[in-house]
């Protein structure tokens, strides 16, 4: 197991983007972290290098059967120039859960957090500070063995790249419109739905593209068997506020256990706002809408943070929520969570880690 990190700094520094031009995930910083795995050496050769293309054989397994996993987390820079990370240990826990499902060797989460902190501190000047911006951190693992048989690779690369980002959705913090998907499905219990693996996202593209043509930002997935129970949105977990109670689909083996989802549940409990994780059908949500008690809906995710939902398209009907406006609970959650992440709100939960 690797313990030290070789550092090679880039001779050239790229120009940094204007914060108002930032989109999600299009610009990358000057450096990246790389570490290799072989059966003989385990994870080894940890290094920080200039960000640049990598060379792989066309026979590398990454190009063939999708044995990949990834994570997403964010770094923020405070007004007194501290750099903060939000719950990185949860991402490492989930990375190992994904590794286990995809037959990828376990990583040492503490070591990867150290590597990630080192990388972020080297590229610290890239962390944007204006409202709604942050530095998105993308750790990922790819299989690199040259082999066309279907089997777990014997060799891997773990890499971390950094991207200064603005909002994930073009709507920014304004409510998004979501299409309730009734044809395609994302995952079933026993599949890979709970892992953060590329294939889950590849299989979502067709539905997403069709929804986009109809003017919807993302799709809401229903369960893969009966197409009845709510699961998650393309890049977020989902919450509804119905008659004063916040509900979110329970962890069931096919939905992703989001770090933001987990944080939101804890925050609601702390505020004594009723919150329940349960199996919830889209019909129940629709009935609540018809009775006028579907008060708010919002998605949660690292990339999306808290994204209020202003409309669902379901059964050929537009369900307009809270007159298409951001609800009070969604707003309070967004303000408090981003405040904790940026160090302007007290971190009562002990979620924030400083990068020194
Ligand atoms: C994240 O929220 O970090 C995600 O992984 C969503 C991503 C697929 C953009």
- pTM for the model stands at 0.95
On whether residue 204 sits in a domain, the answer given is yes
Q: Does 125 share its domain with 184?
A: no
Q: Does 275 share its domain with 134?
A: no
Residue 214 Cα, ligand 1 centroid: separation in angstroms? 23
What angle separates helix 259-270 from helix 88-101, to the nearest 10 degrees? 130
pLDDT at 163 over 90: yes
Q: Does 242 share its domain with 127?
A: no
Structure tokens at 29: 């910083």
Q: Does 158 share its domain with 183?
A: no
Residues 228 and 285: their CA atoms lie apart, in Å, by: 11
**Of 107, 131, 165, which residue is a domain's last?**
165
Structure tokens at 106: 């376990």
Q: Does 234 share its domain with 134?
A: no
Residues 6 and 327: their CA atoms lie apart, in Å, by: 48
Q: What is the CATH number of the domain that holds 250?
A: 3.20.10.10
For ligand 1, atom 3: residue with the closest CA: 72
Cβ neighbors of 76 (< 8 A, separation 6 or more) are 83, 84, 86, 127, 129, 134, 135, 341, 342, 343
Mutate which of 195, 235, 258, 261 to test ligand 1's pocket (most atoms within 8 Å of Cβ)? 235
pLDDT at 19 over 80: yes
Quick one: residue 124, left, alpha or beta (phi over 0 = left, psi -120 to 50 = alpha)?
Answer: alpha
On whether residue 347 sits in a domain, the answer given is no
What angle separates helix 88-101 from helix 109-122, to the nearest 10 degrees? 130
pLDDT at 97 over 60: yes
- End-to-end CA distance of the chain: give it in Å, rounded: 24
Residue 196 Cα, ligand 1 centroid: separation in angstroms? 9
* pLDDT tier for residue 1 given thresholds of 50, 70 and 90: low
On whether residue 37 sits in a domain, the answer given is yes
For ligand 1, atom 7: residue with the closest CA: 235
**Of 140, 165, 190, which residue is a domain's last?**
165
User: What are the tens digits of pLDDT across the range 247-275?
Assistant: 999 999 999 999 999 999 999 999 999 99
**Of 139, 165, 191, which residue is a domain's last?**
165
Residue 277 burial (CB count, 10 A): 15
Q: Does 325 share its domain with 215?
A: yes
On whether residue 171 sits in a domain, the answer given is no
Q: Does 155 share its domain with 29?
A: yes
Domain boundaries, position 140: 6-165
Residues 124 and 178: their CA atoms lie apart, in Å, by: 35
Q: Does 197 share its domain with 329?
A: yes
User: CB under 6 Å to ligand 1: residues?
Assistant: 72, 201, 235, 301-303
Q: Are 149 and 186 in contact (CB under 8 A)?
A: no
Q: Does 242 share its domain with 280?
A: yes
Q: Kindly report the average pLDDT of the chain as a whole number.
A: 95
Query: Which atom of ligand 1 is least distant from the CA of 301?
Result: 2
For ligand 1, atom 6: residue with the closest CA: 235
Q: Does 195 share its domain with 95?
A: no
pLDDT at 86 over 90: yes
For ligand 1, atom 5: residue with the closest CA: 72
Residues 208 and 178: their CA atoms lie apart, in Å, by: 10
Q: What is the CATH number of the domain that holds 29?
A: 3.30.470.10
On whether residue 260 sits in a domain, the answer given is yes
Name the residue among 107, 95, 113, 84 with its Cα closest to residue 36: 107
Q: How many domains does the chain have?
A: 2
Residue 41 Cα, ligand 1 centroid: separation in angstroms? 31
């Amino acid at each position: 197991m690797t313990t030290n990190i070789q550092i090679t700094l880039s001779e050239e520094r790229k120009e940094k983007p204007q914060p108002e031009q930032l989109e999600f995930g299009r610009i990358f910083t000057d450096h990246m972290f790389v570490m290799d795995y072989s059966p003989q050496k385990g994870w080894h050769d940890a290094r920080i290098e200039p960000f640049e293309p990598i060379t792989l054989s066309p026979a590398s397994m990454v190009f063939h059967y999708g044995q990949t996993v990834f994570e997403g987390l964010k770094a923020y820079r405070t007004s007194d120039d501290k750099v903060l990370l939000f719950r990185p240990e949860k991402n490492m826990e989930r990375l190992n859960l994904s590794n286990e499902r995809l037959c990828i060797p376990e990583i040492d989460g503490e070591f990867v957090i150290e590597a990630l902190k080192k990388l972020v501190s080297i590229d610290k000047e890239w962390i944007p500070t204006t409202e709604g911006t942050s530095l998105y951190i993308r750790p990922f693992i790819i299989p690199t063995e040259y082999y066309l048989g279907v089997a777990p690779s014997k060799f891997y690369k773990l890499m971390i790249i950094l991207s200064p980002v603005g909002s994930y959705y073009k709507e920014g913090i304004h409510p998004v419109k979501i299409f309730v998907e009734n044809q395609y499905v994302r995952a079933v219990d026993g599949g890979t739905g709970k892992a953060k693996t590329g294939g889950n996202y590849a299989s979502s593209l067709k539905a997403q593209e069709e929804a986009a043509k109809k003017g919807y930002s993302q799709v809401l997935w229903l369960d893969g068997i009966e197409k009845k129970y709510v699961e998650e949105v393309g890049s977020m977990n989902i919450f509804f506020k119905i008659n004063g109670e916040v509900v979110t689909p329970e962890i069931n083996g096919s939905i992703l256990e989001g770090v933001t989802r987990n944080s939101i549940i804890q925050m609601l409990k702390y505020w004594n706002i009723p919150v329940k994780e349960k199996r919830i059908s889209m019909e129940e949500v629709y009935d609540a809408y018809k009775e006028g008690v579907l008060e708010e809906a919002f998605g949660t995710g690292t990339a999306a943070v808290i994204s209020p939902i202003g409309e669902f398209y379901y059964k050929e009907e537009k369900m307009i929520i809270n007159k298409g406006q951001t609800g009070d609970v969604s707003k309070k959650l967004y303000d408090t969570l981003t405040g904790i992440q940026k160090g302007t709100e007290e971190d009562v939960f002990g979620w924030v880690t400083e990068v020194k």
